Structure 1
Amino acid sequence: MAVVALAFAALFALQKPIGTWLFQRAMEQNTARDTFAGLEDGLHVGLCGTGSPMANLDRAGPCNFVVAGKLMFVVDIGEGGSRNLNLMGINPGQLDGVLLTHFHSDHIDGMGPLMLNHWVRGTNTAPLPVYGPSGVEAIVDGFNAAYATDDTYRTAHHGEDVAPSSGGGAQALPFEMSEDSPMVFERDGLKVTAFKVPHDPVDPAVGYRFDYKGRSICISGDTKKSANLESVCRGANLIVHEALQMEMVSDMQDILSANGNDSAAKIMLDIRDYHASPQDAAESAQAAGAQMLVLSHLVPPLPNAYLYPAFLGDAPDRFDGKLVVGEDGMLFSLPSSGDTIEQRELM
């Protein structure tokens, strides 16, 4: 017993030097981490945010990053998404752009930190490119206006070598939607196609398909069950699809109503008519012939994996491939040299 007491006393006495050493070791490891550089040639999709506007400590707002060869994009940037990119070893300074699916606040409210990190972590001399359907100009203009004063502080403090005055903010790159799904980006073997999804009254609302060296990924954005998604994503290897568990949200509505919170109860009623259930997503992935379905933008919040079977319901019976409930930090890799999909954790 005396030996244990002495050991604890020694640890306490050495807390400062041990803490300093631990901090230095962590900094050495984290600052040298570069997930992007270590990825083999192929398509990769990482989940930097799998949550929704509902509070969830373990999930940032909607955020995905896609790597194709030497190109890297973020699809939607919800609150906390930029933080998770950094925690996953992804340097926002290396981004080639952002693709927005629509302009709901939870899909854009992480834009400010991402613009800042793109600028100063990459010493970029040009603003962050932001692709989106028509209307993206107003979104980007608003963020640029909100951060314009801060940009001047950064350059004045750190200088042009670190924070070039030409590199702050973002640049809107709008595209027009039509009955056909437009190709919004094509370079170095990567093709990015936008497709309409039903999310009324939100209009425009799109998803994206990425094709690179025979591998393909689709990201749904926010949508009801969509025949157009099933058509455009036919043959995709992996689909990242939003999911709202209707029965759970209905239970939330009843409880909120019983507690006299009628406004919140009305929201729980309304959101069920413009989102897809896990079962809907599974049926769409089956119709598209996907190998893997990853559920994201999860509603309601799921504090632990014990709730996953209740969330999924009978969705696993409606899809023949692998079904994954997405979590922040997951990375899915589709090497160009084969037909496998590899999964690992970056957080």
Structure 2
Amino acid sequence: MKTVKIVLISVFVLAIAVFFNREIITLKIMERTIEKNLTSNLMTNLPDGLHVYLCGAGSPMFDVKRSGPCTAIIAGNKVYVVDVGSSAAKILQQGRVPLSNVEAIFLTHFHSDHIDGLGELIMQLWANGTRNTAVPVIAPRGVEQVVAGFNLAYQQDDQYRTAHHGETTMPPSGSDALAVPFNLTKGADGLVVYEQDGLKVTAFKADHKPVDPAVGYRFDYKGRSVVISGDTVKSDAVAKFASGADLLLHEALSQELVMFINKRAKEIGRDNVVKITLDILDYHTTPVEAAETAQQAKVGHLVFNHIIPPLPVSTLESLFVAGVDEVYSGDFTLGKDGTFISLPVQSKDINIEELIW
């Protein structure tokens, strides 16, 4: 009994000490957090390989677990960003992806949800990534207009930052992006759009009509491979370029769940939502169709990406993937912001973890 009293008194004294010193304790915690944020690096202990970090697994619809489309591909010690949806720069930093290692940006097409974070990312690569040269933005023809628009929109901001922080800290040469267009001609069987440091990136046509051009990408590095479908209906092109890949990141839309939104929109008189939710059914792939593509291509692992509609609770996630395991014999993951997949070179392992949720 005496021991219990001593423990209770000690806890009480400790609670009082914490209460009266809470500001000092909070600042100490903040100090350690700042140090961790400035020094911690996702790539520090990664084995050589091809690694994938979802910096945006959602769509234009608001989803608490999924921001606008963004995928970071890590090959060796370099980072390549595919599509730059809203919050891309923040989710990259939240996952401790070093912006200084970003080598290039790839775009699958120019829908707003795939490019609306581009201006912020370019600025963050300059300020926090300490770039002193323009970051390449590799994409189909039309990217020249997109990049020129963002460069122009941020021109005054760039001038303010250089004037305030100085050219040594914020050199004008690093403030912009550089458009690197390519052209997939009619009938082309894919096109190698980047090949350097052991990494080969091949673009292939995606079927996202009326959006044209639209592409997907295959990344090959030292025997490991990742394919990003881009926005598309079920496509033989995706199956072809995903053939034998370790990992397929495929967009997916649940028609059943979207039609729940459509039904409710009709009931409350939201005619614009009714029309849009009907229209989007004809240029996306269902989860089961994506799984059929993965089975046809014999990919090692399927990750659902660009998730439509939002899935804020786990029950909806189960409904989203209903029927997938009936058509695909491999493992699959329902992507969310922070999903990280590691494909080390020295083995055929596929390691998956959640970094921020």
Same-fold status (TM-score > 0.5): yes
How many Å apart are 1:170 and its aligned residue? Answer: 0.4
Match of 1:249 in 2: 258
Match of 1:207 in 2: 216
Q: Does the CA contact (< 8 Å) of 2:250 and 2:305 recur in 1? A: yes
SS at the partner of 1:131?
Answer: strand
Inter-partner Cα distance in structure 2 for 1:156 and 1:226: 50
| Root mean square deviation of aligned Cα | 1.4
* Cα offsets for 1:89-118 (capped at 9, x unmatched): 012222111000000000000111110111
Match of 1:66 in 2: 73
SS at the partner of 2:193?
Answer: strand
How many Å apart are 1:258 and its aligned residue? Answer: 0.7
The one-letter code matched in structure 2 to 1:222 is D
Runs of 4+ in structure 1 deviating by more than 6 angstroms, as ranges, are: none
1:105 aligns with 2:108: no
Match of 1:37 in 2: 44
Match of 2:332 in 1: 323
Q: Does the CA contact (< 8 Å) of 1:199 and 1:222 recur in 2? A: yes
1:26 aligns with 2:54: no
How many Å apart are 1:191 and its aligned residue? Answer: 0.6
Inter-partner Cα distance in structure 1 for 2:277 and 2:17: 55
Q: TM-score, normalised by structure 1?
A: 0.97
* Cα offsets for 1:105-144 (capped at 9, x unmatched): 0000011111011112232211111000000000000000
Match of 2:103 in 1: 96
Q: Does the CA contact (< 8 Å) of 1:253 and 1:264 recur in 2? A: yes
SS at the partner of 2:154?
Answer: helix
Structure 2 residue corresponding to 1:275, chosen from 270, 284, 299: 284
Q: TM-score, normalised by structure 2?
A: 0.94
Inter-partner Cα distance in structure 2 for 1:7 and 1:37: 38
How many Å apart are 1:306 and its aligned residue? Answer: 3.0
Inter-partner Cα distance in structure 2 for 1:87 and 1:304: 22
Inter-partner Cα distance in structure 2 for 1:241 and 1:110: 21
Identity of aligned residues (%): 45
SS at the partner of 2:40?
Answer: coil
Match of 2:88 in 1: 81
Structure 1 residue corresponding to 2:121, chosen from 114, 122, 125: 114
How many Å apart are 1:8 and its aligned residue? Answer: 4.6
Inter-partner Cα distance in structure 2 for 1:122 and 1:31: 12
How many Å apart are 1:6 and its aligned residue? Answer: 6.0
User: How is 1:240-319 mapped onto 2 (pairs within 5 angstroms)?
Assistant: 240-319=249-328
The one-letter code matched in structure 1 to 2:86 is E
* Cα offsets for 1:237-291 (capped at 9, x unmatched): 1000111000000111011111111111111100010000100110001111101
| Structure 1: gaps (5+ residues) | none
How many Å apart are 1:307 and its aligned residue? Answer: 2.0
SS at the partner of 1:162?
Answer: coil
Q: Does the CA contact (< 8 Å) of 1:123 and 1:161 recur in 2? A: no
1:193 aligns with 2:174: no
Match of 1:165 in 2: 172
The one-letter code matched in structure 1 to 2:158 is D
Inter-partner Cα distance in structure 2 for 1:206 and 1:132: 9
Inter-partner Cα distance in structure 2 for 1:27 and 1:147: 28
SS at the partner of 2:353?
Answer: strand
Q: Does the CA contact (< 8 Å) of 2:287 and 2:321 recur in 1? A: yes
Inter-partner Cα distance in structure 2 for 1:307 and 1:32: 38
Match of 1:226 in 2: 235
SS at the partner of 1:323?
Answer: strand
Q: Does the CA contact (< 8 Å) of 2:255 and 2:286 recur in 1? A: yes
| Structure 2: gaps (5+ residues) | none
Structure 1 residue corresponding to 2:151, chosen from 127, 144, 149: 144
How many Å apart are 1:9 and its aligned residue? Answer: 4.3
The one-letter code matched in structure 2 to 1:84 is I
1:127 aligns with 2:134: yes
Inter-partner Cα distance in structure 2 for 1:60 and 1:30: 21
Q: Does the CA contact (< 8 Å) of 1:49 and 1:80 recur in 2? A: yes
The one-letter code matched in structure 2 to 1:118 is L
Q: Does the CA contact (< 8 Å) of 1:333 and 1:341 recur in 2? A: yes
Which deviates the most, 7-16 or 76-85? 7-16
Match of 1:47 in 2: 54
Inter-partner Cα distance in structure 1 for 2:117 and 2:220: 26
* Structure index of larger Rg: 2
Q: Does the CA contact (< 8 Å) of 2:77 and 2:101 recur in 1? A: no
